[in-house]
């Protein structure tokens, strides 16, 4: 399904999203939009439904009602596997708006929307560079037989993707560790490793689910710089959900606050900090 349900500068639009688990309404007619190349925050008290929003956007959960509109590069949407090379280069510069609701989960990453998780998921027995290569699996064109027998196309693809993975690790400051096993690496390194893996898919929107969890103050400051660098260098939007308000307020251009699955407020960091409804949700009603 395609449509024109996004404003010209928006890349994602959530409209009247609702979902219940048993008798509990986790999301209740929630709506917001994210602009292209914007760093956008989603905040709320524990149990507010933030992770449920992510899961509905990426179709891990099917919402009971509502739509999730996403702007997809037209060449990416209609791309066919090329006969040569690693990736078909965009030609038209056009985009289409698609409704993600009802789409297969595995198709979401092909549209340019990727996410991280609260708990870092890496394969400890693989090197850092091999963990990053996993993020490019959707773009491999060589068949299983070509890969097993190391035929020319498979070798060309692996060489190109490996070079790209090394470039991403260098960009995130952990290139010197590329051949070391992921197991036993410091938590901050694993967080950067996960981000490098998301960038392998050449996303237009990255969803970061509590990326500062488990990081110390120094690492959190480094994470803020990394988020800004990713936006600037890779020209993508970022949706951030995070409990560390210093991080949220320092990197986000706009913030949506929710509580018990309902919309509370939307605005700049300063707007949100001074919003009495948000203050009440976090601190309780003053006596």
- Going from N- to C-terminal start, the domains of the chain cover 1-104+247-287
State the fold for domain 1-104+247-287: Rossmann fold (3.40.50)
pLDDT tens profile 49-107: 999 999 999 999 999 999 999 999 887 776 543 333 333 334 456 889 999 999 999 88
What is the predicted pLDDT for the residue at 23?
87
| Whether pTM exceeds 0.95 | no
> Three-class SS string for the chain?
CEECCCCCCEEEEEEEEEEEECCEEEEEEEEEEEECCCEEEEECCCCCCHHHHHHHHCCCCCCCEEEEEEEEEHHHHCCCCCCCCCCCCCCCCCEEEEECCCCCHHHHHHHCEEECCCCCCCCCCCEHHHHHHHHHHHHCCCCHHHHHCCCHHHHHHHHHHHHHHHHHHHHCCCHHHCCCECCCCCHHHHHHHHHHHHHCCCCCEEEEECCCCCCCHHHHHHHHHHHHHHHHHHCCEEEEECCCHHHHHHHCCEEEEEECCEEEEEECHHHHHCCHHHHHHHHCCCC
pLDDT tens profile 174-215: 999 999 999 999 999 999 999 999 999 999 999 999 999 989
pLDDT tens profile 246-258: 999 999 999 999 9
Average pLDDT of the chain, as a whole number: 88
């Amino acid at each position: 399904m395609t449509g024109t349900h996004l404003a010209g500068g928006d890349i994602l639009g959530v409209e009247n999203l609702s979902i219940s688990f048993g008798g509990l309404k986790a999301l209740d007619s929630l709506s917001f939009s994210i602009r292209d190349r914007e760093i956008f925050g989603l905040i709320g008290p524990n149990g507010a439904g933030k992770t449920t929003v992510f899961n509905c956007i990426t179709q891990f959960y099917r919402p009971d009602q509502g739509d999730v509109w996403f702007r997809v590069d037209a060449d990416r949407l209609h791309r066919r596997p090329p006969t040569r090379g690693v990736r078909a280069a965009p030609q038209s510069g056009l985009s289409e708006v698609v409704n993600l609701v009802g789409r297969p989960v595995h198709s979401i990453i092909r549209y340019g929307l990727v996410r991280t998780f609260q708990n870092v998921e890496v394969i400890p027995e693989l090197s850092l560079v091999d963990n990053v290569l996993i993020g490019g699996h959707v773009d491999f064109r060589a068949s299983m037989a070509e890969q097993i027998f190391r035929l020319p196309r498979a070798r060309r693809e692996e060489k190109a993707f490996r070079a790209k993975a090394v470039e991403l690790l260098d960009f995130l400051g952990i290139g010197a560790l590329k051949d070391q096993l992921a197991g036993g690496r410091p938590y901050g390194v694993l967080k950067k490793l996960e981000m490098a893996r998301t960038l392998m898919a050449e996303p237009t929107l990255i969803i970061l689910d509590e990326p500062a969890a488990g990081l110390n103050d120094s690492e959190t400051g480094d994470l803020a710089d990394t988020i800004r660098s990713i936006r600037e260098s890779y020209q993508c939007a970022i949706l951030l959900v995070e409990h560390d308000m210093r991080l949220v307020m320092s990197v986000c251009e706009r913030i949506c606050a929710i509580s018990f699955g309902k919309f509370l407020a939307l605005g700049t960091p300063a707007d949100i900090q001074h919003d009495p409804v948000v203050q009440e949700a976090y601190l309780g009603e003053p006596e």
